[in-house]
Structure 1
Amino acid sequence: MASLCAAFGAVIVVALPGVVDPRAHAAGDDREKRSAAVLQELVPSADGPGCAAAVGRRGDVVWEAGKGKADLVTGRAITSKTVFDMASNSKQFTADAVLLLVGRHRLALNDPLSDFLDNPPAWTRNVTLGDLMRHTSGIPDYQDLLEAKGIKLTDPAGQKEAIAAILASQPEGPPGTRFSYSNSNYVLLAHVVEKVTGTPFPTFLQQEFFTPLHLRMTLAPAVDVPGKAKSYDEKDGSFTLNSSPWKQYGDGSIQTTPGEMVRWADNYRTGRIGGTALLTGVTEGAVSVGDVLRQRGIEDGRYGAGILLLPDNSLVHRGDWEQFHSTFKVSPDRNTAVTVVCNVDSPDNFRAANQLLDIWTK
Structure 2
Amino acid sequence: MKFSLSRTLPMFVALALSSAGPASASSDGLSSAQRQQIDALFAQYADPARPGCAVGVVRNGQVAHAKGYGLADVERGVPITPATVFDIGSTSKQFAATSVILLELDGKLSLSDDVRKYVPELPDYGKPITIDHLLRHTSGLRDYTALLSLSGLEVEAVTTDEQALAIIARQRQLNFPTGSRYEYSNSGFFLLSVIVERVSGKPLGEFARERIFQPLGMNTAQFRDKHAEVIAGRALGYAVDGEAPEGTVRFKNALSNWEQTGDGALHLSIEDLFKWDENFYQPRVGGSALIEKLTHQGALDNGEKITYARGLFVDEYRGVPRVHHAGNWVGYNAMLARFPAQHTSVAILCNFGGAEASELSEKVADVVLADVLKSSASAEKVSGGKKASGKPVPHSQLVGSYFVSTTETILSVVEQKGALVLNIGAMPLPLNATGPTSFEVQGFPVKIDFSVKAKQPAQELQLRIGSDDSMTATRFAAAAPSAEQLQGYTGTFYSPELDVTWPLVIDQGKLAVRDEHRKFETKVQPLEPAMKDAFSGEAGLIRFTRDAMGKVTGFDLSALRMRGIRFELRQPD
User: What amino acid does structure 1 have at the position aligned with 2:349?
Assistant: V
User: What amino acid does structure 2 have at the position aligned with 1:350?
Assistant: S
Kept in 2, the 8 Å contact 1:112–1:124? The answer is no
User: What amino acid does structure 2 have at the position aligned with 1:357?
Assistant: A
In the alignment, which residue of structure 2 is the partner of 1:10? none
Kept in 1, the 8 Å contact 2:297–2:314? The answer is no
Deviation at 1:118, TM superposition (A): 4.3
Partner-residue secondary structure (3-state), 2:281: helix
Q: Does 1:323 align with 2:325?
A: no
User: What amino acid does structure 1 have at the position aligned with 2:312?
Assistant: I
Deviation at 1:287, TM superposition (A): 4.2
**Alpha-carbon displacement from aligned partner over 1:49-82 (angstroms, at most 9, x marks no partner):** 1111111223332211111111121111112221
- d(CA) in 1 for partners of 2:198 and 2:83? 35
TM-score, with length taken from structure 2:
0.55
Query: Alpha carbons of 1:279 and 1:345: their partners in 2 closer, same or farther (altered >3 Å)?
Result: same
- d(CA) in 2 for partners of 1:140 and 1:118? 17
Kept in 2, the 8 Å contact 1:328–1:337? The answer is yes
User: What amino acid does structure 1 have at the position aligned with 2:64?
Assistant: V
User: What amino acid does structure 1 have at the position aligned with 2:108?
Assistant: R
Gaps (5+ residues) in structure 2?
A: 5-22, 372-573
Query: Alpha carbons of 1:208 and 1:124: their partners in 2 closer, same or farther (altered >3 Å)?
Result: farther
Query: Alpha carbons of 1:315 and 1:334: their partners in 2 closer, same or farther (altered >3 Å)?
Result: farther
**Alpha-carbon displacement from aligned partner over 1:256-294 (angstroms, at most 9, x marks no partner):** 112221221112222221112112111324248xxxxxx
- d(CA) in 2 for partners of 1:28 and 1:283? 31
In the alignment, which residue of structure 1 is the partner of 2:102? 100
- d(CA) in 1 for partners of 2:366 and 2:279? 21
Q: Does 1:231 align with 2:237?
A: yes
User: What amino acid does structure 2 have at the position aligned with 1:258?
Assistant: I
Of the three residues 136, 139, 155, the one matched with 2:138 is 136
- d(CA) in 2 for partners of 1:338 and 1:224? 28
Deviation at 1:37, TM superposition (A): 2.2
Of the three residues 271, 274, 281, the one matched with 1:262 is 274
Q: Which has the higher contact order (CA 8 A, sep 6+)?
A: 1
- d(CA) in 1 for partners of 2:110 and 2:352? 39
In the alignment, which residue of structure 2 is the partner of 1:215? 218
Partner-residue secondary structure (3-state), 1:88: helix
In the alignment, which residue of structure 2 is the partner of 1:174? 177
The 5 A counterparts of 1:193-212 are: 193-212=196-215
In the alignment, which residue of structure 2 is the partner of 1:65? 67
Partner-residue secondary structure (3-state), 1:310: strand
Between Structure 1 and Structure 2, whose CA radius of gyration is higher? 2
Partner-residue secondary structure (3-state), 1:123: coil
Deviation at 1:202, TM superposition (A): 0.6
User: What amino acid does structure 2 have at the position aligned with 1:191?
Assistant: V
Percent sequence identity is 29
Deviation at 1:125, TM superposition (A): 5.9
Shifted more, 179-188 versus 222-231: the winner is 222-231
Query: Alpha carbons of 1:145 and 1:269: their partners in 2 closer, same or farther (altered >3 Å)?
Result: same
In the alignment, which residue of structure 1 is the partner of 2:531? none
**Alpha-carbon displacement from aligned partner over 1:124-151 (angstroms, at most 9, x marks no partner):** 8611101100101110111121122222
- d(CA) in 1 for partners of 2:63 and 2:207? 26
Kept in 2, the 8 Å contact 1:70–1:78? The answer is yes
Deviation at 1:166, TM superposition (A): 0.7
In the alignment, which residue of structure 2 is the partner of 1:275? 287
Deviation at 1:90, TM superposition (A): 0.3
Q: CA RMSD in A?
A: 2.4
User: What amino acid does structure 2 have at the position aligned with 1:106?
Assistant: K
Instruction: Identify the structure with the greater strand proportion.
Output: 2
- d(CA) in 2 for partners of 1:37 and 1:84? 22
User: What amino acid does structure 2 have at the position aligned with 1:66?
Assistant: G
Kept in 1, the 8 Å contact 2:217–2:275? The answer is no
The 5 A counterparts of 1:14-25 are: 25=28
The 5 A counterparts of 1:1-362 are: 2=1, 25=28, 27-40=30-43, 42-43=44-45, 45-123=47-125, 126-169=128-171, 170-216=173-219, 217-221=221-225, 222=227, 223-234=229-240, 235=242, 236=244, 237-287=249-299, 302-311=307-316, 312-333=320-341, 335-361=343-369, 362=371
- d(CA) in 2 for partners of 1:59 and 1:158? 38
- d(CA) in 2 for partners of 1:241 and 1:353? 25
TM-score, with length taken from structure 1:
0.85
- d(CA) in 2 for partners of 1:336 and 1:130? 29
- d(CA) in 2 for partners of 1:282 and 1:80? 26
Kept in 2, the 8 Å contact 1:132–1:186? The answer is yes
Gaps (5+ residues) in structure 1?
A: 7-17, 289-299
In the alignment, which residue of structure 2 is the partner of 1:9? none
- d(CA) in 1 for partners of 2:124 and 2:29? 60
Shifted more, 190-199 versus 258-267: the winner is 258-267
- d(CA) in 2 for partners of 1:26 and 1:249? 36
User: What amino acid does structure 1 have at the position aligned with 2:354?
Assistant: S
Deviation at 1:324, TM superposition (A): 0.1
